[in-house]
Amino acid sequence: MLTIFIRVIILYTLVLITMRLMGKREIGQLQPFELAISIMIADLASVPMADIGIPILSGIIPILGLLALHLLITFINLKSIKAREIICGRPSILIENGKINEKALKKERFTVNELEERLRGNNISNIADVNYAILETSGQITVTPKPEKRGITLADLNIEPKNEGIPYDLVIDGKIMYQNLEKLRKRLSMATKSG
């Protein structure tokens, strides 16, 4: 029983480190190759975790191999646009100039109902209000409303807002965050010098 517990801790730690090294993305924003690697890592870790008859290295070595593969694919993606298109695909324009692109919907195996659902998720209740809807390679839909349907911004009113900067937590779980206090002090001293 203790052996299984130790194996779980080792493999869990390895998977956690591997996922952190893969980068900070939400599950919904993973590229297909990232999702496939994540699923494979979970599967590879679960087998030696549950069966003490399987050597723990049978889980560790393939996980490290997948991490190396992920880092290689990511490097290739950064260096080559053509490779990025092959590995990740290209965004598809589902609505263009307010008109549904039926060809793109069929190619992406998207129904109008699914498109409407995704638009509602972007706070758009009427397809007629959309100028562009783009299906990103991550599966997310980016929506650009028609100009007359966009919200009013301060720029529309010729108001230049003051930069408020980033908010800092000063106390977390009852502990004072001294690093954040120091950042605020620097920001305040810079503001008083420029003002």
pLDDT at 165: 76
| Phi and psi at residue 99, to the nearest 5° | -115, 135
Confidence check: pLDDT of 164 > 90: no
Closest by CA position to 126, among listed 94, 92, 98, 105: 98
pTM: 0.62
First to last CA, the chain: 66
As assigned by CATH, the class of the 92-149 domain is alpha beta
Cβ-based neighbours of 100, under 8 Å, separated by 6 or more: 94, 112, 115, 127
Confidence check: pLDDT of 195 > 60: no
Confidence check: pLDDT of 23 > 80: no
> Which residues does residue 93 pair with via DSSP β-bridges, in sequence order?
134
Confidence check: pLDDT of 150 > 70: yes
| Phi and psi at residue 180, to the nearest 5° | -70, -35
Q: Is there a contact between 14 and 56 (Cβ–Cβ < 8 Å)? A: no
Q: Give the helix/strand (H/E) hosting 171.
A: strand 171-172
The sign of the CA dihedral 181, 184, 190, 192 is negative
Q: Cα 135 to chain center, whole Å?
A: 15
Where along the chain do its domains lie?
2-87, 92-149, 163-195
User: pLDDT tens-digit profile of 29-58?
Assistant: 677 778 788 888 888 888 888 788 888 888
DSSP for 82-104? Answer: HHHHHHH---EEEEETTEE-HHH
pLDDT at 133: 95
Under the banding of pLDDT at 50, 70 and 90, the label for residue 27 is low
Q: State mean pLDDT over 92-119.
A: 93
Average per-residue pLDDT for the chain: 85
